[in-house]
Amino acid sequence: MSKILVIEDEKNLRQLYKQDLELDGHTVVTAKSAEEGLRKVETEAPDLVVLDIRMPGMDGLEAMGRILDQHPSVPVLLNTAYSSYQDSFLSWGADAYVIKSSDTGQLRREVEELLSGKRVGARRRPGGQPQAQS
Amino acid sequence: MARTKVILQDALAMVLAGGQGERLYPLTRDRSKPAVPFGGIYRIIDFTLSNCLNSGIRKIFVLTQYRSASLERHLKMGWDPVMSPELDEWIFTVPPQLRLRQSWYQGTADAIYQNIHLLEDQRPRHVVVLSGDHVYKMDYAAMLRCHEETGAVATIAAVDVPVDEAHAFGVLHVDPRARIVSFQEKPEQPEPIPGRPDRALVNMGVYCFDTRALVRALVEDARLPTRHDFGHDILPRLLRTGDVCAHPFVDPDHRPLYWRDIGTLDAFYQANLDLLAERPTFDLYDEAWPIRTLSQQLPPAWAAEGAVLRRAIVGPGCVLQGTVNGSVLSPQVRVGAGAVVEEAVLMDGVVIGEGARVRRAIVDKSVRIPPGASVGHDAEADQQRFTVSAGGVVVIPKGAQLD
């Protein structure tokens, strides 16, 4: 069982991700802003961070830079409604990039894969397509 | 030529100017290494920036860090006026922004990584990464053309040096098409160039990258516990992902050109003296490749009736009454009657008192050598008072008071 930190400003999505990831057997803590998320990375020591990009205040890309500065081995999954961020250089540091959907299937699959240690470190490739899954 | 113009317009230079320069201490006590005065009227960074200007690269970020006030002043006053922002030509100094890390730059690659937002904003096709502390004259446009032609993800300027000096550098091995097949960073036993047992091909720290390949390598490296160094980490990583080519730094007859990494006091001293040769290996008087700097409004140099001047560089505003032999004098140096200056580097405003003797020394700004005093003639006495380099050169720091 792993501890996942979900940083997401939309309340409904926070609850949806928490519920679904808990169904997969994980402990889920949530933060409703990047600032709160950065504090919880320290206090909760999560095994993985699910991070929204567009949020009021600090955005997810800046938050990711700060998380990786202190905890470079913690996998970060960027989860956003916008595919355009895939071209942002900063987003290339993420371990996975998932486009938001009402179906949490892809998010959960990526979470499992990252937690299983099959993918470590920055694996995003420019062009935006996730690596072929083995 | 039109093609070259397009390549240059889509290129951006990032000049690494943040090193502490500990091995140049005490010259770096009050300034960063790129800001150390050199060759009479220049600062070391002027050579890299002149190369950019002469090559047609007019978008330049200078990444500063330690003790940057002197460097920033020099760039602001000497280089800002040259660029034309209305034509999208500029030179910006960028101190650490602490956006991605809450720390100083951890290595050369980390300096670029921490400024990745600059590349994000500009989105150049190519990034030229340069060091602010090298003395050489190089056409980066030719390197960019070579980079485009080969389709490499990165191109590294390479110069051949005596094999017994190569341990201080990254040693490259290339195939007949100049593609790098292996790379050893500061090896104990450098491998020579095949067929030339006395020479080795080394990395000059002058790079041309495809921006996307560079960024990818930087963000991957940033996650790992490496030194975040181009030579140690980024080049080996890029070699695994695509072709990396060497761009030989040679003249039309394939002889290696002059390039010096001003890493130590002795390297600094010798590179200054290299300028004095009858046929200098590094020619400041080449009108085809002007080296520019911040010039000051000063009167011309003047020599008195009894002054003797041999093999010397003399800056404006100097007043010479004694003997100057094999030396480099910055502006406004005064050499009193009967004084003898030999094989010395005297920076701005140094005063050599009457009858004083200065030999094999670097004298930093505004130092006054009292009349009759002696420097560089008694190793034991010098060592008690001053820094003496491994090669025996006496260094008198800025503002030092001598009895």
User: What digits encode the pLDDT tens for the residues B208-222?
Assistant: 999 999 999 999 999
Cα(A69)–Cα(B154) distance, integer angstroms: 26
Note whether B76 contacts A: Cβ–Cβ < 8 A: no
- The number of domains in chain A is 1
Q: Calculate how close chain A gets to B119, using CA atoms only, in Å.
A: 8
**DSSP class per residue in B211-231:** HHHHHHHHHHHHTSSS---II
Residue A12 maps to a domain: yes
- Chain segment B154-208, per-residue pLDDT in tens: 999 999 999 999 999 999 999 999 999 999 999 999 999 999 999 999 999 999 9
pLDDT number for residue A129: 38
How high does pLDDT run on average in chain A?
A: 87
Residues paired with B93 in a beta bridge: B62
Question: What is the H or E stretch that residue B46 is in?
Answer: helix B45-55
The structural domains of chain B, with segments of one domain joined by +, span: 2-274, 302-396
Residue A121 inside a domain? The answer is no
Backbone angles phi, psi at B291, to 5 degrees: -100, 120
Decide if A129 is inside a domain.
no
Closest-CA residue of A relative to B214 is: A89
CATH of the domain at A50: 3.40.50.2300
Place of tokens 């181009």: B230
Q: Which of B149, B148, B157, B101 is nearest to B129 (CA)?
A: B157
The Cα B254–Cα B250 span in angstroms is 5
- DSSP letters, B60-92, are EEEEE-TT-HHHHHHIIIIIGGGS-GGGT-EEE
Residues present in chain B in total: 403
Domain B2-274, CATH number (from 1.10.275.10, 3.90.550.10, 3.40.50.620, 1.10.240.10): 3.90.550.10
Lay out the sheet containing A27-31: strands in order across: A27-31, A3-7, A48-51, A76-80, A96-99
- Domain containing A13 equals 3-115
Per-residue pLDDT of chain B (403 residues), as tens digits, is 577 877 888 899 999 998 888 899 999 999 999 999 999 999 999 999 999 999 999 999 999 998 899 999 999 999 999 999 899 999 999 988 887 888 888 899 999 999 999 999 999 999 999 999 999 999 999 999 999 999 999 999 999 999 999 999 999 999 999 999 999 999 999 999 999 999 999 999 999 999 999 999 999 999 999 999 999 999 999 999 889 999 999 999 999 999 999 999 999 999 999 999 988 889 999 999 999 999 889 999 999 999 999 999 999 999 999 999 999 999 999 999 999 999 999 999 999 999 999 999 999 999 999 999 999 999 999 999 999 999 999 999 998 988 7
Which of B14, B45, B230, B18 lies closest to B117, judged by CA? B14
pLDDT tens for A58-81 read 999 999 999 999 999 999 999 999
Please report whether residue A120 resides in a domain: no
Confidence of residue A86 (pLDDT cuts 50, 70, 90): confident
The dihedral formed by the CA atoms of B213, B99, B102 and B236, expressed in degrees to the nearest 10: 0
Length of chain A: 134
Examine residue A71 and state whether it is found in any structural domain, yes or no: yes
3 state SS of B290? coil
Write out chain B residues lying below 8 Å of A34, CB-based. none
Is A127 contained in some domain? Answer: no
Residue A132 lies in a domain: no
Taking CA atoms, what residue in B is nearest to A73?
B223
CB-CB neighbors (< 8 A) of A66 in chain B = 100, 102
Find chain B residues with C-beta within 8 A of A121's C-beta.
220, 223-224
- The residue assigned the tokens 């002007």 is B290
Pick the CATH number of B302-396 from 2.160.10.10, 2.10.210.10, 1.10.1060.10, 1.10.10.10: 2.160.10.10
CA distance A43 to A36: 11
Please write the tens of the pLDDT for every residue from B265-284: 999 999 999 999 988 889 99
Report how far residue B316's alpha carbon sits from residue B204's, in angstroms, rounded to the nearest whole number.
33
B101 touches chain A (CB under 8 A): yes
Nearest residue in B to A69, CA atom: B101
Tokens of B6: 């397009």
Residue B101, classed as helix, strand or coil, is coil
pLDDT score recorded for residue A2: 93
Residues in B closer than 8 angstroms to A122, CB to CB, are 219-220, 222-223
Task: List CB contacts (< 8 A) between B116 and chain A.
Answer: 89-90
> Which among B402, B394, B401 is positioned nearest to B26, based on CA atoms?
B394
User: Is residue A113 within 8 Å of B239, Cβ to Cβ?
Assistant: no
Q: How many CB pairs lie under 8 A apart between chains A and B?
A: 48
CB contact under 8 A, A68 and B222: yes
Beta strand A3-7 pairing with A27-31:
parallel
C-alpha B104/C-alpha B66 separation (Å) is 9
Does residue B390 sit at the A interface (CB-CB below 8 Å)?
A: no
